[in-house]
Copies of this chain bind each other. A is one copy, B any other.
Amino acid sequence: MTYCVGMMMDEGLVFLADSRTNAGVDQINSFRKLTLFERAGDRVLVLLSAGNLAITQAVIAILKRRLDAEDGTGNLMAAKSMFDAAELVGEALRFVYARDARALKDHNVEFNASFVLGGQIRGEAPRMFSIYAAGNFIEATDDTRYFQIGESKYGKPIIDRMITATSSLKEAAKCALVSMDSTIRSNLSVGPPLDMVLIKTDTLSVHHHVRINVDDEYFQTIRIRWGRALRQAFADLPDPPFA
């Protein structure tokens, strides 16, 4: 499995992805699940992927191939809006579905793939989309500031508690890492190294792009101190009156 999260605050966007893939527990590998499309000053797009790796890699390969297409059809770098870009991802997904779905069905493999696409294209505000296997998608709004794909439930409570429109990029990055830590602890199929991208609103470029390994000093600090703080907070809660 996978855990990826994208968050959209007034200050900018934060994306975090793990890199573990597994086909059963005896075939575990590391693959990048965060893909960056950037032309500084014009646009910056981040695509997070979850699901069947053959499908998501095919979608990304198609999107990359189309960057060089002579007629510009399906080119993310030519999309006029983030909405158009989300449509292009959906179209690529439908292309792969048309090509592979029947063969996968013959082998009882579900057509399972999902994406989070976020970023900013010059002329509009930052936007973020959650794209389903059918190629349809929803957009983040003022009320819903984040999307998760993959093993999303373990790390959801902390985001629900912490992230609002006015959260800073720093807070959101920290929260994404705490959310990832909870997921990694509870689910073997999610693991480092992690890929994180931060984008500041209206800069139209990547503010920070970092690969976080298991021995990364900051991530280790977060893991240890968060665990310790939780144990302390838990100990400080009053005991039940009935026990």
Contact = CB atoms under 8 A, between A and B. Distances in A.
Interface of A: 151, 153-158, 160-162, 168-171, 173-175, 177-178, 182-183, 185-186, 198, 207-208, 210, 218, 221-222, 225-227, 229-234, 236-243
Contact of A153 (B153, B170, B221, B243): B153
A174 B234 contact: yes
A229 B233 contact: yes
- Determine chain A's interface SS by DSSP, over half rule: helix
Contact of A177 (B168, B170, B198, B240): B240
Given A230-B233, A236-B229, A243 B173 contact: yes
A185 B160 contact: yes
B208 A237 contact: no
A4 to B, nearest CB: 16
A159 to B, nearest CB: 9
Q: How many copies does the complex hold?
A: 2
A2 to B, nearest CB: 14
Nearest to A183: B157
A208 B243 contact: yes
Given A162-B231, A208-B243, A210-B242, A186 B156 contact: yes
B227 A237 contact: no
A45 B173 CA distance: 46
B239 A153 contact: no
A131 B208 CA distance: 48
Nearest to A219: B240
A240 to B, nearest CB: 5
Given A218-B240, A229-B233, A157 B182 contact: yes
